């Protein structure tokens, strides 16, 4: 190999190693565990999440929503903790949350199945729009609900490691009264 070829080979090897470290180098310890200020849930994110709150009003009443979200490369991660001031039958609340979520993202529902976590019941669902694939969990108990969702471009839909890592990190720490 000529001197130029050796230098080019070394530069290419270093670039490849740096890319590998960047794309695969995020270890378990780098994910940050987030605990809601009220201690109701925890979840891990690849980066420090942003938080926000909002109030939504409907003909049925008012809902206070605590939002925590983050993104990492091509993934978007989010949790919404919803507390309504009105009663609604369990399945109707789950369906209303699902329908609103799918509508807000201009998506089509692909599948859903029943799920349970920490005394809450609801659904796991998969939905898609023109740009992203989503996997989410909606959990409801009385007037309290959680949405745990992750979205990614179509090209990374098979990266189940990131998806499962996020969804499995969500824990309900306090059950409703």
**What's the average pLDDT block by block, 10 residues per block, for the chain (177 residues)?**
44 34 48 95 96 95 97 90 96 97 96 96 95 95 97 73 92 80
Q: How many CA atoms lie within 13 A of 53 on its CB side?
A: 5
pLDDT of residue 79: 98
Domain that holds residue 9: 1-28
User: Quick one: 101 and 42 in the same domain?
Assistant: yes
pTM flag (> 0.85): no
Q: Do residues 47 and 32 lie in contact, with contact meaning Cβ atoms separated by under 8 Å?
A: yes
**Dihedral sign, CA of 34, 124, 95, 107?**
positive
User: Quick one: 51 and 1 in the same domain?
Assistant: no
pLDDT of residue 162: 85
Of 83, 84, 46, 53, the closest CA to residue 68 belongs to: 53
pLDDT of residue 29: 55
User: Quick one: 37 and 16 in the same domain?
Assistant: no
Of 60, 123, 58, the closest CA to residue 94 belongs to: 123
Q: Do residues 93 and 100 lie in contact, with contact meaning Cβ atoms separated by under 8 Å?
A: no
pLDDT of residue 27: 47
pLDDT of residue 155: 62
User: Quick one: 71 and 88 in the same domain?
Assistant: yes
User: Quick one: 82 and 18 in the same domain?
Assistant: no
User: Quick one: 100 and 111 in the same domain?
Assistant: yes
Give 115's strand partners. Answer: 122
Q: What is the pLDDT of residues 92-135, one digit of tens each?
A: 999 999 999 999 999 999 999 999 999 999 999 999 999 899 99
């Amino acid at each position: 190999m000529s001197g130029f070829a050796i230098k080019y080979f070394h530069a290419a090897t270093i670039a490849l190693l740096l890319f590998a470290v960047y794309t695969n180098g995020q270890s378990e310890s780098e994910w940050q565990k987030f605990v809601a200020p009220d201690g109701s849930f925890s979840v891990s994110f690849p980066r420090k999440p942003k938080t926000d709150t909002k109030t939504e009003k409907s003909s049925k009443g008012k809902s206070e929503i605590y939002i925590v979200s983050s993104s990492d490369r091509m993934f978007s991660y989010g949790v919404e903790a919803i507390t309504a001031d009105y009663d609604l039958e369990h399945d109707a609340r789950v369906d209303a949350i699902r329908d609103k979520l799918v509508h807000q993202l201009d998506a089509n529902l692909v599948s859903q199945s029943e799920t349970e976590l920490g005394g809450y019941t609801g659904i796991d669902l998969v939905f898609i729009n023109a740009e992203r694939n989503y996997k989410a969990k909606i959990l409801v108990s009385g007037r309290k609900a959680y949405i745990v969702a992750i979205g990614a471009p179509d090209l990374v839909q098979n990266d189940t490691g990131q998806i499962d890592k996020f969804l499995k990190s969500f824990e309900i720490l306090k059950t409703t009264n």
